[in-house]
Structure 1
């Protein structure tokens, strides 16, 4: 087993900043403390740079199988480690969809050969796969994903009796995409009648409206309360929805939790004129007031997790009229640095970033021995130079789709090194070709 000694780090962990060394033996952290020495270890001196736990992204779309012209598990997980993300949970709306245990295990098999970051996959619930869902192993699958708004194929779960049975028949976290399909359909019809297919992008947050989001989220929460299910609402986009969540109990005791994504914290409807369909997401980026309310709920702990909803498309696909331009965009490489930029602006602390991007995803999904800088835990670690300016340009973008909504932006902090299970996987712009990722396991 290789032994690495990280010296002179400024760690951020469990609400504290402290100077420390970290001894890594094999894939685990062996010791955390000052003035550690080891006769044979490879020494890496951080010279006072930040050392963070590896980021855990609970919502990505890496497009494999079936949509690999947009991205693959290999290409997108490689970009992820360049951004300090060491573990990901990928979503089931691929082609074919991950709605059987066989298809789920096929994804795990691909990841075991190609992933650069630790991996798990959510199982997709449908109107007709309840019996398959009941067979899931809660210790080896991250959870269940339900689309309560439109998605590809048959993944829209709109049969209320089936939905209640899903909530009653799993102990795992049920993660939901909440938008009311009927409301969206009616709104879209109005603007199609006025503009045809080429609807101005500024109407996207009106079509996929606050009402559509709140109606769906509130129904999901009511059902979770009725059934006692463990519910996690993905990508909140409205201020109104934040009132549905509480901050009066610790995360581990919460039965109903929420996530916000980078784009809803960074962009608003004021950015559509410049960015166009590049910032077309579902749920939509909404008003400046919504963004401010999301920040407020994030900081007062009504929102528990920051994620990316990384969902790449090609520029050719994005360069289409409203009705055919797909929703989604690439984010894993720039998520952590975007949040560090907000820290530099005084909006959020380093401790809160680590809580929402590292600790809380591990706690919420019961991930074994990840998300913290602790002795005995896997050595998933990220070095960040807090005062290192760099500009996002095409030549330093690692996504397969080769673009970013952050192009042209200068960030003030930079990911320097990323360790995955004790292996130096990313080092100052260079990647190790050795893949040291592992399948995530869950303590349930």
Structure 2
């Protein structure tokens, strides 16, 4: 059914303006003031609420296949559209790891049946799958993920020759998790000499700025050497920011990302939340959080993502050294950014730039990330004046909990459209039949 959104406050391309939007099929047909309704239009009165392009989350872990006790493509994509995320790119550290083109395509087939949001998947790099990396198709695959010294099993890539070959030969964008394993081990031994048992308070000391900077600078050096396309994920320290150029994302070959939890939490929150906010790289210090926020303004940080990584409540209720790293975020990511808008730390146009426009530009995503006539209708209607109280029992994550529980956000996601289909309304997700699509790149 064609949809006519009336009286919306549109946020797009650095502007905020009043307009009506007509959706026809999967796409935006018309953007104008005073669009007249047609007999078969479904009319939605935005009543002045803000209409933005859906968030494109370039870093999530939806846990399928093999880890579905934590989450699945179906459950986590439903939480994502409830949070205004209309497209995502998912990571290869599942079971078995996604390290072949065949395994990669199997995940696309799963998503075609289950996903509520548009999707793409990364191939995981190993020290001996260069032939698979070389088979990546830049028009069909979002990139290759390289865990540089901060993973286990076959996804850990540390050998200099293997890394050099990946940066030399990858036909697709290289995205990296940058922490230096040798420095982390040195930090661990030093901390154990001080006290026999590590606690959550040691986490930012264990995975400190030197571990991050040593790996990030190594990745940047390799990209410069081979003129490779590099995107460094989840920057957590002020020191790393010196590696990245300020300014517009246009024409950059090396870019950087921040994640919503690193813009929200800092080391003092470990006392209250403990293992619930244990993640890698670690949430660090207030000075780092503030420097990352400032880097959003300078353009040294180009993209905001989630690194959504759910674990069960029981898995988090153990000793620090046994607790897995990661936290669920997709349902509340945009809401956390709108709180920054309310506090004056960010602008609405900046939120849209970092979560929608810039991911579309960096990944060369076809006809998404902007509110433009002819583009896919991936849209989110936000009421900036309606609060949202987070409780564990109103989370859509399979794990059933949120680190934001007890916090009342200042805004509310009202509606989410994916390819013109209304998939979230009245606090309810519906995507039958599935309307999500495989992302394509140009």
- TM-score band, normalised by shorter chain: over 0.9
Residue 311 (structure 2) aligned to one of 307, 310, 313: 313
Contact 1:263–1:308 (8 Å) recurs in 2: yes
1:207 aligned onto 2:206:
yes
Structure 1 match to 2:264: 266
**Residue in structure 2 matching 1:343, options 316, 325, 341:** 341
Note the 1:35-434 alignment, pairs <5 A.
35-37=34-36, 38-196=38-196, 198-248=197-247, 250-434=248-432
Deviates more, 1:187-196 or 1:71-80: 187-196
* 1:252 shift after superposition: 2.3
Greater displacement, 295-304 / 76-85: 295-304
Q: Secondary structure at the match of 1:154?
A: helix
Q: Deviations over 1:168-223 (max 9, x none)?
A: 11232100000001000111223345544x41111100000100000000010011
Q: Give the unaligned 5+ runs of structure 2.
A: none
Q: Give me the whole-angstrom Cα distance separating, in 2, the residues matched to 1:80 and 1:18.
A: 26
Contact 1:120 1:142 in 2 (8 A): yes
Give the whole-Å Cα distance in 1 for the aligned partners of 2:23 and 2:387.
29
Asked if residue 26 in structure 1 is aligned to residue 32 in structure 2, the reply is no
> Aligned with 2:243: secondary structure?
coil
Q: Distance between the aligned counterparts of 1:189 and 1:229, measured in 2? A: 35
Please report the TM-score for the alignment, with normalisation by the length of structure 1.
0.98
- My pick for the range that moved more, 168-177 or 258-267, is 168-177
For 1:94 and 1:192, how far apart are their aligned partners in 2?
31
Contact 1:247 1:300 in 2 (8 A): yes
2:76 & 2:32 partners in 1: Cα distance?
34
Cα pair 1:265 1:295 within 8 Å, conserved = yes
CA contact (8 A) 1:93 1:152 kept: no
Q: Which runs of 5+ in 1 are unaligned?
A: none
TM-score by length of 2: 0.98
Whole-Å Cα distance in 2 between the matches of residues 76 and 202 of structure 1? 29
Report deviation, 1:152. 3.4
Count of residue pairs brought into register by the alignment: 440
Instruction: Please report the RMSD computed on the Cα atoms of aligned residues, expressed in angstroms.
Output: 1.0
Deviations, residues 323-376 of structure 1 (Å, cap 9, x unaligned): 110100000000000000010000000000000001000000000000000001
Distance in structure 2 (CA, Å) of the matches to 1:313 and 1:286:
21
CA deviation map 1:130-161 (0-9, x unaligned): 01111111110001100003213211111111
The answer on whether the counterparts of 1:140 and 1:440 sit within 8 Å (CA) in structure 2 is yes
Aligned partner of 1:17 in structure 2 is 16
Aligned to 1:5: 4
Q: Matched residue of 1:108: which SS?
A: helix
- Give yes or no for contact 1:393–1:407 (8 Å, CA) kept in 2: yes
